[in-house]
Amino acid sequence: MRVLEDREPKKVFQFFEEIAAIPHGSYHTKEISDYCVDFAKKRELEVYQDAYNNVIIIKEATAGYEEAEPIIIQGHLDMVCEKESDCDIDFEKEGLRLYVDGDFLKARGTTLGGDDGIAIAYALALLDAEDIPHPRLECVFTVDEEVGMLGAEKIDLSMLKGHQMLNIDSDEEGYFLTGCAGGVTAECVLPVSYDDAEGVSYTLKLSGLQGGHSGSEIDKERANAVVEMGRILKKAEDSIDMGIVSLQGGLKDNAIPREVISEVLIMEEQKKDFEQLLQEMNETLQKEYAASDKGIELTFCCNGEKQAKILGYRAQTGVLFFLRNMPNGIQHMSMDVPGLPETSLNAGIMKLEEERFLVSFSIRSSVASRKENLMERLEYLMGFLGGEVTFSGNYPAWEYKRDSKIRPLAADVYRELYGKEPVIEAIHAGLECGLLSQKIPDLDCVSFGPDNFDIHTPQERLSISSTERVWKFILEFLKRAK
């Protein structure tokens, strides 16, 4: 028996469970792309698959809707693959381990992939049905959205006839999004060298942070493990003769890092002072983040005497200077929309390797010039330190469309179905609507979705009841879209 056998809407959850069984992290979307193509061919639907694994499936209008404006249904095939440190899943080979906890669907020890698997499940359920009235449906499934919207940048939409789009990539029911920030990924690299050394080895681990989506959670004042480990190591270097052996943390540039591990060497006679400093830093962090990251903890383990390669003086100075001076977090709040972050960046991945030190950022802004300003700041900082920065996945902001037809219809349908006033707003997180709007003149779109909490973290959970309500909303919207 399937985990979601008796959950409504049955077809939606059937397809979600099938999707979850297929590995589909960013850059690994061939299998799920082929699954969608096979789905379409079995039903004799018009289907397109490109070299990047993007898929487009088209289903003609049902009787009575032949003259209606086609509706584009859009979501992305890839998911963010985050897991707990004790989870042994191999995201490239294994599916997710789904389970139900009350009203929530979860995955054991990992992200759920509700972002954006639920969009694909909704679309497949629509395409599969024979009893749902609808205009011509043009379902667009993009890849590698989570790593810079790479699929949306490359996709060919010339076969589409529609100019109205439902983007199902939002995570709060009753919120209809009409604009979002643009973004870019910045990879900062500093060359490093090592010296042979001998001393007492310590492993430091900063963990228990809440993490979260670097767009929707960046304003929650949550701790960034990369930033705080840089603070800890610089504090130690100021008073202890310390050399860095290893340093690594964070998995995705668009997820606030929850854990960092470092190994250092110190002198035997400084063990007591070093351990006291670490205990004090642990207490400081727990006090500072008592509200946002109550589980934060700095732990350490003495490994005894050891010979190892440590960062050379200049390399360590450069690494710590960068970690202590790099911009991170919210840089500007919107003056037009109260409470909305306008410009931010997130240090999401940190790796110390044999010849280089890398930190990868997700930069977001609804103002193009301020996004460019952050890019220039990182270039200047890395140039000063003798490193370099490369940019990828640069995507535009999605601008508000004042004369939208789809937005008021969506609001009316939701209001009449559920007796609640929908919220119409722009967000700081990135959506593919901006890129796709550049490919389709006068694209009129709205973004929405069911309640899906703590996305990009292993605590991700999708509301089953909300998923059903949004499904009923989609059906009613299509029914009225004549």
**Residues annotated as part of the active site:** 78, 145
Nearest to 21 by CA among 117, 88, 128: 117
DSSP 170-204: --STTEEEEEE-EEEEEEEEEE--EEEEEEEEEEE
- Pairing relationship of beta strands 182-191 and 388-395 according to DSSP bridges: antiparallel
Q: Which residues of 343-358 are buried (b: 16+ CB within 10 A; e: fewer)?
A: bbbbbbbbebeeeebe
- Reported as type and span, the H/E element at residue 347 is strand 341-352
Distances (CA, A) of 415 to 132, 164, 412, 420, 473: 21, 20, 5, 5, 10
Using CB atoms within 10 A of its CB, is residue 309 exposed (0-12), middle (13-18) or buried (19+)? Answer: middle
Q: What SS3 state is found at 243?
A: strand
- DSSP label at 110? B
Q: Over the Cα atoms of the chain, what is R_g?
A: 24
Q: What SS3 state is found at 134?
A: coil
Structure tokens at 259: 């854990």
Structure tokens at 373: 């300003």
What are 142's strand-pairing partners?
76
Torsion angle, alpha carbons of 160, 119, 147, 334, to 10: 90
Using CB atoms within 10 A of its CB, is residue 87 exposed (0-12), middle (13-18) or buried (19+)? Answer: middle
**How far is residue 211's CA from residue 223's CA, in Å, rounded to a whole number?**
7
- Reported as type and span, the H/E element at residue 247 is strand 243-249
Where does 246-360 have alpha helices with state H? Answer: 271-288, 313-325
**Structural contact between residues 79 and 91, judged by C-beta atoms closer than 8 angstroms:** no
| Single-letter code of the amino acid located at 72 | I
